[in-house]
Amino acid sequence: MADPIIISASPHIHSNKTSKKLMYDVLYALIPAFLVSIYVFGISALILTSVAVISCILFEFLIQKFLLKTEITITDGSALITGILLAFNLPSNLPIWMIIVGSLIAIGVAKLSFGGLGYNIFNPALVGRVFLLVSFPVQMTSWPTAVVNNTTIVDAVTGATPLGIIKEGLMYGETMTTLSSKFPSTMELFLGITGGSVGEMSALALLLGGVFLIARKVITWHIPITMLVTMAVFTGIFWLVNPEQYADPLIHILSGGAILGAFYMATDLVTSPMTKKGMIIFAIGIGIITVVIRLFGAYPEGVSFAILIMNAFVPLINTYFKPRRFGNKIKSKIM
């Protein structure tokens, strides 16, 4: 009989947290937002999400099995999350083949070509989304308007997002006062009865999941709160200076995927900094870049770009914003 006694070094106990459990917590957190999207867009949201999830998992399997010939990691839950988050960032009437292309880019290019989970620099779902946005700008920005409780596939009625309306309107010389009648009220934005990507609908549902993630210690408040506060302060300054030309901070925070980005995309464990100091710098960066793109750039919303840009800085942030070493009075290089 083999020696039944295990000899291994301390510690002999473990917290029982696993990366898989973390992934599933993210999954649970997304349920409310998913339900809202089905309520708002009907069955098309369901189809979109299913296609994205299935193709992400399938691509991961195929690439790992036949191309990389490495261990298959589809059960760790990360491809599933990437699929859902990708879907949440797409308009519900996107052609199915485009969803599949987006998934391929997310999994194949952004994740596996960097070495798989843990080695990727950029958030895979956002890379997939931005690739689609740049390649198919028309399809990616024609949003079906809310068809509450419709179970048929919607494709006819399309409209712009609130931020799109503002951007375009201001370009044609309209003022915020005249524009405000054209887009949903703050309350509607909060509850999610509006046009936009599948998952960015209801701020309320997203916040619910966000609170759950913080309570489960999957994420901390640092990134989402800092990012949203930065956006509020920055847009607030412009709005106070000229309320006719700039939308108020609440509109900015409640639309354009800011909450989805803050709680679910920017907080992605792999692609965000490892220290709290670093997280705050990272989130401020995202907030500022988002606002700059929204107010002065070509796109009405900038969260995805901002997160990807800051993703690129994470290795640098990690080197410079180290935790304070115990017993080391000499402060680290920058702080």
Closest to another protein by CB, 22 or 251: 22
CB burial of 41-77 (b: ≥16 within 10 Å; e: otherwise) equals bbebbbbbbebbbebbbbbbeebbeeeeeeeebbebb
Judged by CB under 8 A, does residue 9 bind another protein?
Answer: yes
Figure out which of the listed residues 2, 12, 172, 333 binds another protein, where binding follows CB under 8 A.
Answer: 12
User: Distance between CA 185 and CA 211 in Å, rounded?
Assistant: 24
DSSP 8-class letter at 113: G
| Backbone torsions φ then ψ of 158, nearest 5 degrees | -125, 155
The footprint of another protein on residues 88-147 (CB under 8 A) is 116-119
Binding string, residues 221-260; x marks residues near another protein by CB under 8 A: ----------------------------------------
Judged by CB under 8 A, does residue 150 bind another protein?
Answer: no
Figure out which of the listed residues 47, 54, 270, 288 binds another protein, where binding follows CB under 8 A.
Answer: 270
Figure out which of the listed residues 113, 175, 178, 324 binds another protein, where binding follows CB under 8 A.
Answer: 324
Closest to another protein by CB, 4 or 173: 4
Closest to another protein by CB, 58 or 274: 274
* Count of residues engaged in binding another protein, rule: CB under 8 A: 38
Judged by CB under 8 A, does residue 76 bind another protein?
Answer: yes
Helix, strand, or coil here: 288?
Answer: helix
Figure out which of the listed residues 8, 149, 152, 177 binds another protein, where binding follows CB under 8 A.
Answer: 8
User: Distance between CA 127 and CA 309 in Å, rounded?
Assistant: 11
User: Distance between CA 194 and CA 184 in Å, rounded?
Assistant: 7
Strands (E), 75-204: 143-144, 158-159
Sequence-ordered list of residues with C-beta below 8 angstroms from that of 141, at least 6 positions apart, any chain:
91, 133, 160, 164
The residues of the shown chain that bind another protein, judged by CB under 8 A, are: 3-15, 17-19, 21-22, 76, 116-119, 269-271, 273-276, 322-329
